[in-house]
Chains A and B, each alone.
Chain A
Amino acid sequence: MPRLAPPLAPGEETILSVDGLKVNYGAVAAIRGISLDVKAGEVVALLGANGAGKSTMLRTISGLIRPRAGAISFADERIDRLPPARIVRLGIAHSPEGRRVFGSLSVAENLRLGAAARPDRSTMEADREGVYALFPRLRERMGQAAGTLSGGEQQMLALGRALMAKPKLLLLDEPSLGLAPLVIVSIFKTLAELKAQGVTMLLVEQNITTALGLADRAYVLRTGEIALSGAASELRANYEEVAAAYLGARG
């Protein structure tokens, strides 16, 4: 299996740290003071119901939305005022909610665009081969317009496109959204392979069990605040507590 992302020494090195983040949509507060961190090699899940602020969190980290207050640092550099292109170049790739592939472009073109922000494109071809090795279905469909792929294939493409940026941190927004259960299993199997290769991920999910199966740690968000956090193994054991935090019944 070719390596798609540069391996980072797993352990205690904090690669992403978010401190007291607040984000507003107009007058509505979407995130009301969240602090979290992701260590190198770790998979961290952000759980929560609709409107909890999970997607907003990812969009703010990747620079698509500007925060109102708080700080985001990536590899010891403040990134909360940088434009998205700079953030991608620093090594954060965002696979957005709802896949958002470039529908009229071919699979191969979509992957090539994933490397658009990289200064060094000499290994582009090899990286694309790496993505095809990870998702053989994409190789079969490389000349096909992305809009004609099935939902699962589009999700693979969205993942592959993010990997083409050679990220040090992968932001995944609901990779299971709208997919059949078997397809979800196959996508998460691939994510587990990536995890085994040492890819650091911040994963947004509504599907608690699937997410906790992959993640090392998790934060449960509710109405823009952290309601609960801990190691995935502990949260798995306390499923009731997680569900309660989700629904807001926890006192």
Chain B
Amino acid sequence: MSRAAAFVATIVAVAVVAGLVAILPQLVNDYIVRVVIVMCISGVLVASMGLGNGFTGVFSLGHVGFVAVGAYVSGILSLSQAAKHSYLPDLPGWLSGITLPFLPATIVAGLVCVVLALVVGAPLMRLSGYFVSVATLGFLIIVNVVLINAVDFTRGARTFTGVPLETTLRWAAGWLVVTVIVLARVVYSPTGRRYLSVREDVIAARAVGIKVLPARLSAFTLGAFFAGVGGSLYGHYLGSFSPASFYMAYTFALISMLVIGGMQSISGALVGVVVVTVLSEVLRNLERGLDFGAFAIPPLYGASQIVLGIIFILIMIFRPSGIMGDREFGLGRFVKRKRA
């Protein structure tokens, strides 16, 4: 596909998303709109996690650490003066004086994560395999402990609250589109090919003259930027959160979406988000019980988790590289795997 056609396809895709975003709230109830917002945020987080974990093969368990940093940084920045006085009275002066709007707070949150990723990644991205997973898990734990103990900034383990509820469907879908376009441009470029070579065989990559550390570190850092952005979106969606919101449970929820969808493509990340979210919502409603008149399914609380677990196991048995594997939806060159 030519550059011009790819550009047109991108515009069309963006227009379709914009149209859906505009009409969706008129078509469906508020509950479904909220589910779609959460899916868009998860899409940002899972696709950015896939950049490092899927494309460079550095399986990080620390992505949610950046999400947490993004949520807290943008939360502190966008709290109103009054909220800061009542919730965070011990905040240093230079921070308590500023209140940023949503967009700049989100971008600052992403940039803080970039700096953090460079510092953390410089040593960690030298590791491979299980070692890097365990080390990045260590990063997640450190972030959690710091958040709990930096009481002046975060209220510690207590709920951080008062964040304005600004994550609308437009913001969430808009950031998802930005994330997918940026990631697709990186992944399907010479840089992306280097990422794959590093994933496939580190020694061969070095032997042809590819610098492994810069490849891994750049992917890790770009992923961290969107993790911070997604964290800000999630924080401004929830309004209140605590360090426990961004820990092991959330890590494994995002990882299961990535693995189920297929971590070697951007489409896979998005499919994983949709499949896992829709399944858990449907099953959660089913477990309250159904009444068909003639016969009734009694409520079975907790059953949804079991069924979800079984579905995950079946997908992993029959599609070990996820639903999409390394395939992309053919929406033009910007999401199409170029085999040349």
Contact = CB atoms under 8 A, between A and B. Distances in A.
A64 B194 contact: no
Contacts of B205: 102, 113
Interface stretch (B113-121, B208-216, B285-293, B300-308): B208-216
Nearest to B196: A105
A75 interface: no
Contacts of B194: 113, 116
A134 B264 CA distance: 32
Interface in A113-159: 113-114, 116-117, 142-143
Given A106-B339, A143-B339, A113 B193 contact: yes
Interface residues of A, number: 31
B210 A85 contact: yes
Given A96-B204, A109-B340, A102 B197 contact: yes
Contacts of B27: none
Contact of A100 (B193, B203, B211): B203
Interface string A79-120: 000011101110001111000111111101100111011000
B206 interface: yes
Nearest to A144: B339
Contact of B210 (A62, A117, A142): A117
Most buried by A among B197, B205, B206, B326: B206
A143 to B, nearest CB: 5
A116 B204 CA distance: 12
Contacts of A22: none
B208 A88 contact: yes
B207 A100 contact: yes
Contacts of B206: 64, 84-85
Interface residues of B, number: 20
B201 interface: yes
B281 interface: no
B152 interface: no
Contact of A102 (B201, B209, B264): B201
Nearest to A109: B193
Given A106-B339, A116-B194, A100 B210 contact: no
Majority secondary structure, B binding face: helix
B200 A88 contact: no
Contact of B207 (A62, A104, A106, A109): A62
A54 interface: no
B33 to A, nearest CB: 38
Contacts of B264: 104
A104 B210 contact: no
A217 interface: no
B119 to A, nearest CB: 22
B74 to A, nearest CB: 37
Contacts of A62: 207
Contact of B209 (A85, A96, A108): A85
Contacts of B208: 88, 93, 113-114, 116-117, 161-162, 165
A105 B201 contact: no
Nearest to A173: B207
Contacts of A116: 190, 193-194, 197, 208-210
Contacts of A85: 206, 209-211
A183 B209 CA distance: 28
Contacts of B200: 102-105
B193 A88 contact: no
Nearest to A85: B209
Nearest to B209: A117
B191 to A, nearest CB: 10
Nearest to A115: B208
Contacts of B326: 104
A101 B339 contact: no
A105 B204 contact: no
B193 A105 contact: yes
B267 to A, nearest CB: 16
Interface string B198-233: 001101111111110000000000000000000000
B204 A108 contact: no
Interface of B: 190, 193-194, 196-197, 200-201, 203-211, 264, 326, 339-340
5 smallest CB-CB distances across A and B, nearest first, come from A117-B209, A88-B209, A100-B204, A102-B200, A85-B209
26 contacts: A64-B203, A64-B207, A85-B209, A85-B210, A87-B209, A96-B204, A100-B201, A100-B207, A102-B201, A102-B205, A103-B201, A104-B196, A105-B193, A105-B196, A106-B340, A109-B193, A112-B190, A112-B193, A113-B210, A116-B193, A116-B194, A116-B197, A116-B209, A142-B340, A143-B340, A161-B208
Given A85-B211, A116-B193, 10 more contacts: A64-B203, A85-B210, A100-B201, A100-B203, A101-B201, A102-B200, A106-B339, A112-B193, A113-B205, A113-B208
